[in-house]
Amino acid sequence: MNVTSPLMPDLDEFSHMLKELWESRWITNNGRFHQQLEEALRKYLKVPYISLFTNGTLPLLTALQALRVSGEVITTPYSFVATTHSIWWNGLKPVFVDIDPSNCGMDPDRIEAAITPRTTAIMPVHCYGKPCDIVRIQQIADRYGLKVIYDAAHCFGVEVNGKSILEYGDISTLSFHATKVYNTVEGGAMVVHDATMKQRIDYLKNFGFESETEVIAPGINSKMDEVRAIYGLLNLQLVDAAIEARHKVATRYRETLRTVKGIRFFEDMPGVKHNYSYFPIFVNADEYGITRDELFFRLREHGIVGRRYFYPLISSFSTYRGLPSAATENLPNATRIANEVICLPIHHELTAEDVDRVLEIVVG
């Protein structure tokens, strides 16, 4: 199995683009390369409108502003903490519901019981790039008149039956952090469905300026600069090969781990084009023989860095644990999964020998 790909941007092209940038003296604020990257990503991701941001958290903050969300937002405790922070920073109350162990996304069966007269939105997460139950979540949202904002940070290029996962809900957000399948070093984006909302988002991410002399809303500064846009344009040329290399790593992991008692992992979902952004395994200590943490530190001892992603739950942090919805008894699946998960190394530069070294430790 050869999973190594020569995936490095053309340094001559990079140097040439930087020279053009230097000569233009336009290094941020909707410059030429920013505009090129937005259009390239819109086409690649098969979405109608996309707006670039300087990181993946600010699109979440801005989405809540743009949709004028108020009161309570139903969300998941099983995510990176930025998901819930974006709700808190908007002066809203996060309400946690449990997850579905089959995809680690929000469990639709738990949503309706969490809805109150103050609920105005749902913020699910497509965890590890695995789509939530998008049909049922939308049905619930429509029934109660709620907005749906998807944290799709892990979902670059993910499709369901040929349609981008980013087309679901009122707004979806992406992260282009350096750890993601596609990155601009730091960066992010928001996907919306009409030109009016796209224009509103572009105002909000630039302090609310409509023109040089008019500010129409209390916006924020979250624009992507031209240097990262250049990096993103070059990286976009490599992303398909990177995803294919990750697919080979995931296939090798599955082939070997399928017979290991006490280790569970996700298979590909029917009709879904995956991006193999993460490879989580879930350790049942009673069957496997040691705990997740024992395996985690054993890997570390051998120079292999896995991630307990997501552990601990957001709901267990001091900022949020006092919320009634954060009670452990309300979140049995999320609590169990958080105590079982390790994300094994997966990226396009792993060699077959690297993968086998990981497997040797896990299999024992």
Q: Per the structure block, which two tokens stand in for 359?
A: 């497997």
Q: What pTM, to 2 d.p., does this model score? A: 0.95
pLDDT digits (tens, 9 = 90+) for 304-361: 999 999 999 999 999 999 999 999 999 999 999 999 999 999 999 999 999 999 999 9
Find how far residue 83's CA is from the centre of its chain. 10
* Domains, the chain, ordered by start: 11-236 (3.40.640.10), 240-363 (3.90.1150.10)
Mean pLDDT value across residues 34-45: 98
Q: 5-9, 262-266, 339-343: lowest mean pLDDT where?
A: 5-9
Mean pLDDT value across residues 206-234: 95
Provide the Cα torsion 151, 154, 155, 157; round to 10°.
Answer: 150
pLDDT digits (tens, 9 = 90+) for 189-206: 999 999 999 999 999 999
Q: What percent of the chain is predicted at pLDDT more than 70?
A: 98
Model confidence at 2: pLDDT above 70? no
pLDDT digits (tens, 9 = 90+) for 57-88: 999 999 999 999 999 999 999 999 999 999 99
pLDDT digits (tens, 9 = 90+) for 139-190: 999 999 999 999 999 999 999 999 999 999 999 999 999 999 999 999 999 9
d(CA 121, CA 105): 16
Confidence at residue 1, expressed as pLDDT on a 0 to 100 scale: 54
Model confidence at 6: pLDDT above 80? no
Model confidence at 233: pLDDT above 90? yes
φ, ψ at 136 (rounded to 5°): -70, -35
Question: Count of H helices and E strands in the chain?
Answer: 13, 17
Confidence of residue 4 (pLDDT cuts 50, 70, 90): very low
Cβ-count burial of 190 within 10 angstroms (0-12 exposed, 13-18 middle, 19+ buried)?
Answer: buried
Confidence at residue 249, expressed as pLDDT on a 0 to 100 scale: 98
Q: Per the structure block, which two tokens stand in for 96?
A: 């946690």
Model confidence at 22: pLDDT above 70? yes
Confidence of residue 9 (pLDDT cuts 50, 70, 90): confident
d(CA 61, CA 53): 11
Give, to the nearest 10 degrees, the angle between helix 11-24 and helix 32-45: 130
Model confidence at 5: pLDDT above 80? no
d(CA 141, CA 204): 25
d(CA 98, CA 302): 34
